[in-house]
Structure 1
Amino acid sequence: MPVALIAAISVTATACQSSPGGDSADSNAKGAPSAASSVADYNPTPYDRIKDGGTYTTVGTFDDQGNPFNVNATLTASRVWAWYNADAITYSPTGEVQYNPDYFSDVNVAVKGGNQKVTLTINPKAVFNDGTPIDWTAIRATWKANNGSDKSYAASSTDGYDQITSVGKGRNAKQAVITFKGVSPSWSSLFTTFLHPKAATVENFNKAYVKKAHPEWGAGPYTVGKWDSHSGDFTFVRNPKWWGRKGKLDKRVYVNLESTAAINAFKNGQLDYVSAVDAESLRQIRGLKGTEIRSGGSPFEYSLYFNTKSAVLADKTVRKAIEESIDRTQIAKIRFQGLDYREPLPGSAILYSFQKGYEDNVSDVLKYAPDDARKALDAAGWQAASDGIRVKNGKKLEVGYTLLGDDPLEKATAGAFAAMLKSVGIRLDIKKADEADFSNILSDRKFDLFVSGNRSMDPFGARYLCDFYCSDRDSNLTGAGSPALDKEIRAIAKISDLGKQAVAANEAERKALQEYAFLPLFSGPSTYGVKKGLANVGATIFYNPLPETVGWEK
């Protein structure tokens, strides 16, 4: 599955357990680390040491689009999907591939004549909840829906799928043979989960999961117990049709609460787990009886997106001036204020600073330079008026900024952006929106400037270069790019060596960043308040614990 979009206020990664010390995130600050944290902290516990029974409750609700393969799906969709659909391939915290034998009893990867062949032998017991056997047709259906050959499918990412030339039946229906043109080193990310063939028609792929669940097309240790479209609450219960290890929990409950209410709900014992988004929320939950703080590395990154299709941001000169006016170090200080946490400013959308192959591509193409921004705007004919805001042809230089919810940290960030842009003669028009509008704002491009995050669902960042930067991709929220760069990016996906692929991807990203339409801002650690005894939950980096392994220690 692809990287998954997330609202800045929803599951942020901007807090770490506080202790005396500085709160700068300046990569040039004395003592600042050369890479962000890569520590995992989730109370890893063997299956046989988890008690049978209990309930696990967190904040959450279902997405407008619940099919994680769909371009309009966000991180919410991926997380909810994983509780009642196949988790066939996962990754360790550091990114090593893990095959789930309850789905794939054997995996064979071979290269012959320069082309890769992957043979997936599917567990003979594996069956969808409606009784349909899970076999090679599910793998074929997933490929066909995502390979880009039929533009009617609103697929999130065709990369990798478009390298597959065929998916056929092996020695029997329980074996899928996947043939690639060339070699795909990140092939495992294509089939971490899969679609029921009925879910893979164009109509169902695009519309069936809109605010709905389809447990009959799912499989796994849990299935849907309650799905309340009015309240937004929902519950998963044990699946009587599951053939593998039984889920340890009686119930997995999601309660639909605004992010600002989540801390109080955790303090009152209504939740078992909550994201600590800033120093204040962390202060409120630290030391609560029966709870602990878990904090570690983060596969999240938050960036500023520019809608190049909006009238004022169609001008690259204006976009570059905005980026040169933004002091990312100051934004990071706001995000991490009062926390003993430092990280280098992020330099890439595709790889994190703790990953092999990472390069600081942002610094290669952009410097914080408000004086240069002023000069460029002068030269472009934007003249300062009496109120300090620039005017050209009778039109003020005003840019919209969409602010979700009432989170104080988000308000402070928006205020900082406004002050920075005002200093060069640009007025930031802050427009408030409800958290519930997040996915619609993205899918309908209802913004000029917008801060959103991405969570990497696997370690193969270079694979998602096109999702961020190809001009013809709906997943490219900015709309920036060019056909020439698209061609270069697509060729990179076919490089078989991950190291060489990363080098080429970094070079292409530097070109893409010169569109000045996308600015990585910060990552931060993942920090959570958790009830003691909750197993396999917390800061997991690339790891997504299998649902049946989540529960309470004996």
Structure 2
Amino acid sequence: MRTNLGRLTRLRGRADTRTVALLAVLALGLAGCGADARSNEPHTTASAAPANVDYNPQPYDNVKDGGTLRVPGSVIEQGNPFHADANLSAARFWFWYNADAITYSPTGEVQYNPDYFTAVKTAVVGGNQRVTITINPKATFNDGTPIDYRSVEATWKANNGSNKDYYASDTIPYSRITAVHAGTNDKQAIIEFNGVNAWWTALFTTLLNPKAAADATTFNTAYLKKVQPQWGAGPYVVTKYDPETGDATFERNPKWWGKKGKLDKRILVGLESQAAINAFRNGELDYASAGDAEGLKQISGVNGTEVRRGGSPFEYFLFLNAKAPLLTDTAVRKAILESVDRKQIAAINLQGLDYSEPLPGSAILYSFQKGYHDNVSEVIKHDPGAAKKELDAAGWAVGNDGIRSKDGKKLELGYTLTGDDPLGKATANAFAAQLKPIGVKVDIKVVSENDFDSITSGRKFDLFLAGNRSLDPFGARYLDSFYGSTNNDNLTGVGTPELDQKIKAAAEIADPDQQIAQANELEREGLAQYGFIPLFSGPSIYGVPKGLANIGATIFGTPLPETIGWEK
């Protein structure tokens, strides 16, 4: 699963945010495209992004019983993680009161949770994959509905794209399932595939209660600014939730059949990023994240706490809305992306973090992963000179004011900025300065962080900086999310029917290495649609109390909720 993350940030989520920047960084952003803005770039010298973790991993028996964990919360518009409009905050919220049947280690190894799946077998019969899942006899949703093959079936049917009214985010892999049926009894689910799916585990990391998938209206709207604790399952249950503020309380679930949660309560307090850091510094929160030097400075040195930092399965992008009137022409989009100086943008955002990474070369894999290839550098070159020529050829003439125009329309684009932190403004100003020399005027439009979901779901932008957080290591399977012309997750709207068919064919390649190789080739074709460009990843940085166990920088790992608490 991948989720969008907001800036200040962005989705595909908004849980991890970028906060106040140093004045030096702001000055750097205002420097535009000058040499000074690129003079200090230690972060671009690494051959691969760091893949280290830092989260104080502790076994269940080494965690104290009791205590309350207080963390920042955020308003969640769409709480169904299978819905195309769901974001990172929604996925993390869901994780605490719904089935966590399959998780991953920090490096991406599959882990089956025996409280849900007691045995899993895969086989290939006549060229088609068959997955047999034996479900824990005790596994039951809070409303009394058994967790059985019907839950797997409901999850498949809601996401397979056969009913377009279900606004699902990831239909291609589910569409290759031909049937889900009971095995020896209802507590055994047999999943039949057409062909072989190398990444099938990512489809059933969690399960929908059949009642939540009963019809498209329920699937699409039941979790709109709502929680449905009766449809959940797990060691914790939501006991309080305020959809206007994001405040929530999780308490131990009396209907849970597994090891009880170590914490008594987990409390979410709806706060924007700077307010969350202030609350952490005042001892009112047990967790704060930082994405820039000033944020790191503010969460450091707080009495009784420590900073945990590691690698990041995050990536930030500049998205272009290919459906916007001035951006329907591929030549215009190409010129814009060729004018973006990614080194400067990365320098603005990563300065002062003592962190090194190469410029990202892919939207589907990170540089520390096997099979990664720098596809971006083969397709999108930083060449403002070439960009000018392409705009000339496309009929966009430079006016006396330096702004290009065509057919009476000026090449003026809006840059939508969520939040008003100085780092975000510095980045926006840098983009504007980079595009000005090629004759493109950028108008910066500041909106509330809470508008993020409506901006992305409604594609209400020309230029938008947004990010992605990978919740599993199987990047090749997300080609369609970025480049599929009909995929609900595609923020830009680029793509072609021909590329769609190639992406579907790639998903049917059984050998993981071969599928990744083909995915790299198709990504280069997708990047040539010029819908977006990857900018930077950055580290994961968190402030937490000393002794807090199983919280921090985990890469792909997600410690189960019942294991989180304070070390003995």
The verdict on a shared fold, with TM-score over 0.5 as the criterion, is yes
How large is the RMSD of aligned CA atoms in angstroms?
A: 1.4
1:121 aligns with 2:138: no
Equivalent position of 1:395 in the other structure? 409
1:65 aligns with 2:78: yes
Taking the aligned partners of 2:469 and 2:245, their CA distance within structure 1 comes to 26
1:305 aligns with 2:322: no
Please state whether the residue corresponding to 2:268 is helix, strand or coil.
strand
Query: Is contact 2:289-2:542 (8 Å) kept?
Result: yes
Equivalent position of 1:410 in the other structure? 424
Structure 1 counterpart of 2:191, from 152, 156, 178: 178
Structure 1 residue 40 displacement after superposition: 0.8
Equivalent position of 2:528 in the other structure? 514
Structure 1 residue 317 displacement after superposition: 1.2
Taking the aligned partners of 1:166 and 1:420, their CA distance within structure 2 comes to 52
Equivalent position of 1:3 in the other structure? 2
Q: How does 1:305-384 map to 2 (within 5 A)?
A: 305-384=319-398
In structure 2, the CA distance between the partners of 1:498 and 1:86, relative to structure 1 (3 Å rule), is same
* Superposed structure 1 runs of 4+ greater than 3 Å apart: 10-15
> Where does the alignment leave 5 or more consecutive residues of structure 1 unmatched?
none
Equivalent position of 1:504 in the other structure? 518
Taking the aligned partners of 1:329 and 1:484, their CA distance within structure 2 comes to 33
Please state whether the residue corresponding to 1:429 is helix, strand or coil.
strand
User: What is the aligned residue count?
Assistant: 544
> Where does the alignment leave 5 or more consecutive residues of structure 2 unmatched?
10-14, 23-38
Counterpart of 1:288, as a letter, is V
Deviation per residue, 1:15-51 (Å, 9 max, x gap): 9xx9xxx952564xxxx11100100110101111111
Counterpart of 2:188, as a letter, is Q
Query: Is contact 1:88-1:103 (8 Å) kept?
Result: yes
Taking the aligned partners of 1:247 and 1:497, their CA distance within structure 2 comes to 39
Equivalent position of 2:228 in the other structure? 214
Taking the aligned partners of 1:111 and 1:25, their CA distance within structure 2 comes to 48
Query: Is contact 2:17-2:273 (8 Å) kept?
Result: no
Equivalent position of 1:143 in the other structure? 156
Please state whether the residue corresponding to 1:160 is helix, strand or coil.
helix
Taking the aligned partners of 2:162 and 2:42, their CA distance within structure 1 comes to 44
Equivalent position of 2:267 in the other structure? 253
Query: Is contact 1:134-1:174 (8 Å) kept?
Result: yes
TM-score by length of 1: 0.96
1:474 aligns with 2:474: no
Please state whether the residue corresponding to 2:401 is helix, strand or coil.
coil
Structure 2 counterpart of 1:35, from 36, 45, 48: 48
Equivalent position of 2:541 in the other structure? 527
Structure 2 counterpart of 1:296, from 293, 310, 315: 310
Please state whether the residue corresponding to 2:172 is helix, strand or coil.
coil
Taking the aligned partners of 2:298 and 2:505, their CA distance within structure 1 comes to 50
Structure 2 counterpart of 1:464, from 435, 454, 478: 478
Q: How does 1:83-162 map to 2 (within 5 A)?
A: 83-162=96-175
Query: Is contact 2:64-2:262 (8 Å) kept?
Result: yes
Q: How does 1:540-551 map to 2 (within 5 A)?
A: 540-551=554-565
Equivalent position of 2:257 in the other structure? 243
TM-score by length of 2: 0.94
Query: Is contact 2:494-2:531 (8 Å) kept?
Result: yes
Equivalent position of 1:24 in the other structure? 41
**Identity across matched positions, percent:** 63
Taking the aligned partners of 1:141 and 1:410, their CA distance within structure 2 comes to 41
Query: Which is further off, 369-378 or 84-93?
Result: 369-378
Taking the aligned partners of 2:365 and 2:146, their CA distance within structure 1 comes to 38
Query: Is contact 1:23-1:342 (8 Å) kept?
Result: no
Counterpart of 2:534, as a letter, is P
Taking the aligned partners of 2:224 and 2:355, their CA distance within structure 1 comes to 39
